[in-house]
């Protein structure tokens, strides 16, 4: 896991698990390892084995929740943290069915009591793209992180579980988490769906997101946005713009992607963007979503 920690750039951690070190690791992860589904658009298969995902991160890539939280849970366990992987369900809109439908992997870290978290249980999630910058204590309430506010409360859909409601500007509405531990096999069917189904949001829209203390950078299709105290949006109009944005904004240099693959990816994205423009009325409407609940 040393290469993984090198990617995060975190040094001088406490010898034993601590809230302070957990916060440092969480911040570093969301700031340095983007939420992304590029391999789906490149036609490359991935596994959700946590060690495969950790190796993927160590060599400069990101992933979506099954990759990111799977790898992070393995790293935390190696560092001595008590981590539980849990079945969760993300909803894009308030109208979507609540409950833990398995389209998200959530993590709870326990055994770290503090004044703000007497139970010692924390919601840890580096796989939400544009949401948490730091762990949340599993205590009901509203939490401000940078320009965004999150609401944490008991889930009404999952007895004994928790529900996180995103800031209104976020890419999804809410997530319900079911209590109890599951292994990664619980997400295998949903992973295949997200990677291959024409109905999958990841298949329909390229999504890359990176959170920092002041906001989030997001690429959905060819629409690049910065959301913080205000919002700035631009459309990428060339392959050069795309690959410069991936490298400069998200830290994705794609060293293992050759020129033919880059050209083919640009063509697919350009065609998808044209379809979106046609469907939204000559460029009107909101940029396409790329949410964890795809």
Would you give per-residue pLDDT tens digits along the chain (294 residues)?
A: 899 999 999 999 999 999 999 999 999 999 999 999 999 999 999 999 999 999 999 999 999 999 999 999 999 999 999 999 999 999 999 999 999 999 999 999 999 999 999 999 999 999 999 999 999 999 999 999 999 999 999 999 999 999 999 999 999 999 999 999 999 999 999 999 999 999 999 999 999 999 999 999 999 999 999 999 888 999 999 999 999 999 999 999 999 999 999 999 999 999 999 998 888 764 444 544 544 544
Overall domain count for the chain: 1
Global pTM?
A: 0.94
Tokens of 85: 């992987």
Whether residue 221 lies inside any domain: the answer is yes
Whether residue 34 lies inside any domain: the answer is no
Query: How many Cβ atoms from other residues are within 10 Å of residue 151's Cβ?
Result: 14
Q: What CATH number should be reported for the domain holding residue 250?
A: 3.30.2140.10
| Residue 294 confidence (pLDDT) | 43
| Residue 70 confidence (pLDDT) | 98
Whether residue 273 lies inside any domain: the answer is yes
Nearby residues of 124 by Cβ (< 8 Å), 6 or more positions away: 22, 26, 72, 76, 83, 107, 108, 109, 135
Query: How many Cβ atoms from other residues are within 10 Å of residue 267's Cβ?
Result: 11
Whether residue 228 lies inside any domain: the answer is yes
**d(Cα 165, Cα 112) in Å, to the nearest integer?**
24
Tokens of 95: 């109208």
User: Which residues span the domain enclosing 253?
Assistant: 190-280
Tokens of 157: 């859909």
Whether residue 33 lies inside any domain: the answer is no
Whether residue 245 lies inside any domain: the answer is yes
Whether residue 252 lies inside any domain: the answer is yes
Whether residue 99 lies inside any domain: the answer is no
Q: What is the DSSP string of the chain?
A: -HHHHHHHT--S--SS--HHHHHHHHHHHHHHS-EE-HHHHHT------HHHHHHHHHTT--B-HHHHHHHHHHHHHHTT-EEEEEEEEEESSTTSPPS--SSEEEEEEES--BTTBTT--EEE-S-SSSS-SS-EESSSEEEEETTEEEEEEE-SSSTT-EEEE--TTSSS-EEEE-SS---GGGGHHHHHHHHH-TT-HHHHS-EEEEEETTEEEEEETTEEEEESSSEEEEE--SHHHHHHHHHHTT----TT--HHHHHHHHHHHHHHHHHHHHHHTTT-SPPPP--TT-
Q: Are the beta carbons of 209 and 216 closer than 8 angstroms?
A: yes
């Amino acid at each position: 896991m040393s290469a993984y920690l090198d990617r995060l750039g975190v040094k001088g951690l406490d010898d034993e698990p601590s809230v302070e070190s957990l916060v440092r690791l969480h911040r570093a992860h969301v700031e340095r390892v983007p939420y992304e589904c590029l391999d789906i658009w490149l036609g490359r298969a991935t596994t959700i084995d946590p060690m495969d995902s950790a190796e993927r991160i160590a060599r400069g890539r990101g992933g979506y929740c099954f990759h990111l939280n799977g790898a992070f849970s393995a790293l935390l366990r190696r560092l001595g943290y008590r981590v539980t992987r849990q079945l969760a369900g993300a909803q894009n809109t308030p109208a979507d069915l609540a409950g833990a439908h398995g389209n998200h992997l959530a993590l709870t870290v326990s055994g770290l009591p503090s004044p703000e978290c007497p139970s010692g249980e924390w919601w840890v999630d580096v796989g939400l793209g544009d949401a948490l910058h730091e762990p949340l204590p599993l205590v009901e309430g509203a939490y401000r992180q940078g320009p965004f506010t999150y609401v944490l409360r008991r889930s009404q859909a999952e007895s004994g579980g928790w529900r996180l409601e995103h800031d209104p500007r976020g890419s999804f509405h809410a997530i319900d988490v079911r209590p109890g531990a599951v292994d990664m096999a619980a997400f295998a069917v949903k992973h295949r769906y997200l990677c291959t189904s024409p109905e999958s949001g990841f298949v329909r829209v390229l999504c890359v997101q990176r959170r920092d203390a002041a906001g989030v950078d997001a690429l959905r299709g060819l629409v690049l946005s910065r959301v913080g105290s205000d919002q700035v949006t631009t459309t990428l109009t060339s392959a050069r713009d795309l690959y410069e944005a991936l490298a400069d904004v998200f830290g994705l240099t794609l060293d293992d992607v050759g020129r033919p693959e880059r050209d083919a990816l640009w063509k697919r994205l350009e065609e998808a963007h044209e379809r979106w423009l046609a469907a939204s009325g000559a460029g009107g409407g909101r940029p396409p979503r790329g949410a964890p609940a795809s």
